Amino acid sequence: MNWKKISSEYISKHQYFTARKDRCEMPDGTIIPEYFVVEMPTSVCAMAITEDNNVVMVKQFRYPIEAAILEIPGGFMDAGENTKTAVARELLEETGYHFPGIHYVGKVAANPGVLNNYTELFLATGGKKISEQQLDHNEDIEVLLLPVETVRTMLQRNEFVQALHVCCMMYAFQKFDEQQAG
């Protein structure tokens, strides 16, 4: 079932976009002369709910799809960081909110045919605004607070296009509903 890597050549080496061309052998002996892999750090995201039951959403322009879209907060992990620390940091940086409850809900691979990373998914609860945003130089993020049931309805109506965030919200709503049921 596993393929054997015969050789590997880097095409690009960048913190957020490292691409390589591998030559592989399948179990039946078939040679794949060029298999392209994009290496990326692990990413994290969270459906974040404030202490008064609003979901903290972020709206930002996404250059590759040329659209401003509504998302949940998230980003790449820093070297040496664990996932829970990374998601707490991303929440604070992007929104200014701190969340005492951070609950792991799963992980997904966005496109395992090309990308080698996973995204770790969380539900964050009890959020309270404690600071202003601390955005990277290339970020322009608008924070919006929407009632939990409004976000649930938007999710059911397919109003979110960021696939990893859709997965996170679906798993997070399961966890949230379990917590609410007691």
Instruction: Note the pLDDT tens digit of each residue in 7-57.
Output: 999 999 987 789 999 999 999 999 999 999 999 999 999 999 999 999 999
Q: Specify whether 16 is located in the same domain as 82.
A: no
Query: How is residue 178 written in tokens?
Result: 């379990």
Model-level pTM greater than 0.95?
no
pLDDT at 35: 96
Confidence bin at 182 (pLDDT 50/70/90): confident
- How many domains does the structure of the chain reveal? 2
> What number of other Cβ atoms are within 10 A of residue 98's Cβ?
15
Q: Specify whether 30 is located in the same domain as 91.
A: no
Q: Specify whether 31 is located in the same domain as 108.
A: no
Query: How is residue 145 written in tokens?
Result: 């607070």
Is 43 within 8 Å of 117 (Cβ atoms)?
yes
Q: Which residue has the tokens 């924070």?
A: 143
Q: Specify whether 14 is located in the same domain as 55.
A: no
Q: Specify whether 140 is located in the same domain as 113.
A: yes
Query: How is residue 161 written in tokens?
Result: 């296009």
| pLDDT above 80: residue 159 | yes
| pLDDT above 90: residue 139 | no
Is 30 within 8 Å of 20 (Cβ atoms)?
no
- Kindly state the DSSP code that residue 78 receives in the 8-state scheme: P
Q: Specify whether 57 is located in the same domain as 100.
A: yes
Q: Specify whether 71 is located in the same domain as 135.
A: yes
How many whole angstroms separate alpha carbon 172 and alpha carbon 31? 42
Q: Specify whether 171 is located in the same domain as 84.
A: yes
- CATH number of the domain that residue 53 is part of: 3.90.79.10
pLDDT at 45: 98
Q: Specify whether 34 is located in the same domain as 59.
A: no
Range of the domain at 138: 43-181
Task: State which H helix or E strand residue 144 sits in.
Answer: strand 142-147
Q: Specify whether 24 is located in the same domain as 76.
A: no
User: What's the whole-number mean pLDDT along residues 137-158?
Assistant: 95
How many whole angstroms separate alpha carbon 15 and alpha carbon 82? 18
Q: Specify whether 31 is located in the same domain as 54.
A: no
| pLDDT above 90: residue 135 | no
Dump pLDDT digits (tens) for 75-117: 999 999 999 999 999 999 999 999 999 999 999 999 999 999 9
pLDDT at 23: 97
